[in-house]
Chain A
Amino acid sequence: MAPTDSENSPIVVIGFGPVAARLVDSLLPAVRSGALSLTVIGDEPHPAYNRVLVADLGVGRTTAADIALADRDELEAAGVVLRLGVCVRRVDRARQLVHLSDGSAVQYGRLVFATGARPVVPNLARLNPDPQLPIRLPAGVITLRNLDDAATLHRAVQGRRRVVILGGGILGLEAALAAADEGARVTVVHHGPHTLGRSIDANAGKVLAAALRARGIRVAANSRSTGVLLGQHDGGAPASGAGPDGAAVPNSGTGLDGGTGLDGGAGSGSGTGPDSAILPDGGTGPDGGTGVPASFSALELDDGTTIDGDLLVLSCGVRARTEVAAGAGLATGRGILVDHGLQAHHDPQVFAMGDCAEVRCLDEQCADCRGSTGPSGLIGPGWRQAEWLARVLLAGVLPPGAQPSGAQPSGAQPAGPPAALAPEQPPVIVLKARGVDVAAAGNVAAEPFDEPAEGADPGHTAGTLQAAPPLNVSTWADPEHGQYLKMATRAGVLEGFVSVGMPRAGAELVLLFERGSELPADRSELLRLDAAGMPAAAGGAPDGTVCRCAGVDRQTIAAAVVGGCGTVAEVSAATRAGTGCGGCHGEVRALIEQHFQPAPA
């Protein structure tokens, strides 16, 4: 349905993370021109920053200024109203009001949830003694999602301290590799036989484990942790930032605190809810009250052993922040439920995008929604949603002259609603690490000589009798050199792949998987991409050409030499060989020398 009365009514965005920042960027020209009114509410005191890079920030590889995605002054100068450092208490959909933690309320015409996700805090002894209460992380325990977490990690890395990463997922590994590279002593503790358990197969896991060990990272596989041990640190604990730091933690006041945070740093998964959920304000939480807070000293495992450390980084996945939406009566599942137009169920004025949104429409027969597994946790889909939603919000609003920079004023029309948002492809993971190349996607469980599963073929569509083509698997393994590749294809198109230690092949496979393109029948073409010496460029000069520039072949030069040319200059004068770029002088010289060499006795 076309927006009518809501066209010029205010847009309110809850959350100011990377996905919200993309939406704001896209709406900015219309705000600047006065065609739109826009308010952005964020519970962190800073404008959006690239949460994906928080681990890099935590190991000192970048600065907070360089990961900024928005500038407060620029946005305010354009007319955007920023409400930062406040939480949303509740949304009154009947009156179209957003009530904030500071007691004020904001009227909306259209409301966008970009509240992101928050990290899952596992149930560990002494981490959260009272399950009825919001979680307060002890000193020396962090999730890695905001600037304060990064600062805490940075102190640990600078002090070359012992960092324990709980979780063998992609974000945990990225943090582990970065911290180890920058000098921390790192242990990764994870379930299952190998890291990235949900994304790569066992062989890839072995190659990856070797790469981790080579970088000095201890890996505790098949480990179930049961609790944390807290002790009084002998000073210099890196953990102070992890305490309930009132300055950094907004005052929420209620358990229904702001779902206002950051839409998720999806790719980083550390991009999760604000600490305010985990570290509620002192008003309601039990205030430890013990004076000097105890700090993390070790992780307890179920076999009774412990892993000592100075800092524990929890990297155990994320969960969508849906409390405010749920409190407003919106349907939620793994996220706020939206249709394919990102519109909340039964409320055309409310939208959700990014890590807090689950696309599942009201049509129970919808094929696209049948396999929904909730928010992807990746940044790419969130950004695509933000760009698309901006076009929806701008439909019919944008007057000529308010185009984004670069567009020509002439011939600009108010934009119509965009074509439907394409459903997201299955996620691809690319490990963000220096010198360890891992990319994977899809189903990588199948092995080369597996028997085809009877009747359970996922390629078999209901109502058709035609059997789907078989799943074929090709692999390449060279553990000594840290290389492993698996490609699972159906009719030549990838259903899954994993690539370790093969950067070029991995990069191409990502593209081929995302496009659904057919692989070359000769799969070794992909292996060759990582070959050390690439063959000379083909498609250039015909065989035997010595001088490409002038198009002179070996025979002509040899004839000139026979005819009396004894120097490169003479050959050039006679044949023009070597008169362009000069790159063939060596070869011409060799031909001359060859001719004048004494014949073998």
Chain B
Amino acid sequence: MSDIILKGDKNGFSVIIDVNANYVDAFKELKEMIMQQNVKSTNEDDDVINFTVKTGNRLLNTDQKAAIKELFSKYPQLYLKDIESDVESKIAVEKMFNKTKTNIESGIVRSGQKLDYEGDLIFLGTLHRDAQICTTGSVYILGEVNGIVQAGYPNNTGATIFGNLKDVDQIRIADVIEIVTDDNRDDFKNGSFAFIDDLHSISVDNLKNYKNRLNDLKKRTG
């Protein structure tokens, strides 16, 4: 039985490395196969052929990946699109997981403290003046906030800040900053939400209107 299987479809060729095979043997076989392939293809004046290497339940380390890339780079007729695996390392999974997780923060954030999160944030604590909470996703405020609340850092304009916006000093979503002064303090009430509207500035509305606003935005921005 062969260690590698070559399959072709309209997107080019896939090289599937058998998960039970010895990798050294499989790599040797891949080498030979490519040499043969190259002999065939250089005879014709053909387009570049795309290859995807699929490793199944095997995860290649960076050296192994580099070796495969180097192998393909020797043959200009053959282009390595990607090295795919069905599995992912725990570290990478954790990173992906963190991006979408929901953080819960209680307790007091004091002047001069800045708390950074990835994902969404449910804020149950108290945010003092001159303090800051910052996350990549949305923020749900159930506690009291006096300082600066940043959602969607650094460029997620779809992030929203929900909940108790009374007494907040500054609202930041992505790159937009809204300063709360005596002129607009009345807009910021408990039970509201702040979002980036279609003019790319921050709007505040009552939570009751959230669904309508969301639909409106979708309609206009597509």
A binds B: no
Taking beta carbons and an 8 Å cutoff, which residues of B are in contact with A? none
